[in-house]
Amino acid sequence: MAIVSPSILSADFGKLGADCRMVLDAGAQMLHYDVMDGHFVPNISFGVPVLKSLHKNLPDAFYDVHLMISHPLQYAEAFIKAGATLYNFHLECEDDIQATIDAVRALGCKVGLTIKPGTEPQALAPYLDQLDLVLVMSVEPGFGGQKFMPSALDKLRWLKAEREARGAHYLLEVDGGVDNATAPQCVEAGADILVAGSAVFGAADPAAAVQHLASL
């Protein structure tokens, strides 16, 4: 059974609360919250106030906050106070990685690191023992609805083997182009958590889409 984290970037923002409630009721265990700053990636999404409103209305949800921003250290406190359950930032950001991990931990939040398609998973080695989650991007970050890059699969395999070798505890998440065709490959390669945006919110029956992915 996979954990499903629907990317609400593909939700209808005019009824965001209802869309979140719908996927949670369908069995999604997390909400994937994509923050984009127009600098780290060439797109802007939503930030702290929207997370705060969602958290106020759905306080028990797990907020899997994916920071596609250049300066995650600067915004950690604001996002965590707004309700982030997991602060998931990029290894390729401009801030000091260890200082950012330490700050997130000091604020009492779970911490994850994400790698872009051009980054090898071995680059995460200094941090792996400290992480709750590693996210492997299977598209270039910035936009929903892109095509899955199979190069993510070998990264998942390596990270799964490395977790065993170290006795580490991080969960493995994959994000980008995950749908009914690619999700089984991701699970086979070691993904514990499937992020899916267009495959859920673009489906004729989003609840059924969540249930199908969760059954893998």
Q: What is the binding site for Zn ion (CB under 5 A)?
A: 34, 66, 175
Among 72, 112, 121, 176, binds ligand DX5 (CB under 6 A): 176
Among 197, 206, 209, 210, binds ligand DX5 (CB under 6 A): 197
Q: Judge whether 64 and 174 are in contact, CB under 8 Å.
A: no
Q: Is 177 in the site for ligand DX5 (CB under 6 A)?
A: yes
Q: Judge whether 117 and 148 are in contact, CB under 8 Å.
A: no
Least distance to Zn ion from the beta carbon of 41, Å? 10
Among 72, 83, 144, 206, binds ligand DX5 (CB under 6 A): 144
How far is Cα 164 from Cα 140, in angstroms, rounded to an integer? 28
Q: Is 119 in the site for ligand DX5 (CB under 6 A)?
A: no
* Strand boundaries in the chain, DSSP class E: 3-6, 31-36, 63-68, 86-90, 110-115, 133-137, 171-175, 193-196
How far is Cα 6 from Cα 66, in angstroms, rounded to an integer? 12
DSSP secondary structure, 137-152, as one string: ESS-TT-SSPPP-THH
Please indicate if the annotation marks 143 as binding a ligand.
yes
Q: Which of ligand DX5, Zn ion, none binds 190 (CB below 5-8 Å, type-dependent)?
A: none
Q: Judge whether 174 and 138 are in contact, CB under 8 Å.
A: yes
As annotated, the active-site residues are: 34, 175
Binding mask 124-143 vs ligand DX5 (x if CB under 6 A, - otherwise)?
Answer: ---------------x-xxx
Please indicate if the annotation marks 53 as binding a ligand.
no
Least distance to ligand DX5 from the beta carbon of 41, Å? 7
Please indicate if the annotation marks 145 as binding a ligand.
yes
Q: Judge whether 200 and 10 are in contact, CB under 8 Å.
A: yes
Q: Is 70 in the site for ligand DX5 (CB under 6 A)?
A: no
How far is Cα 119 from Cα 100, in angstroms, rounded to an integer? 19
Task: Show binding-site residues for substrate.
Answer: 7, 66, 142-145, 175-177, 197-198
Which residues of this chain interact with ligand DX5, rule CB under 6 A? 7, 9-10, 32, 34, 66, 139, 141-146, 175-178, 195-199
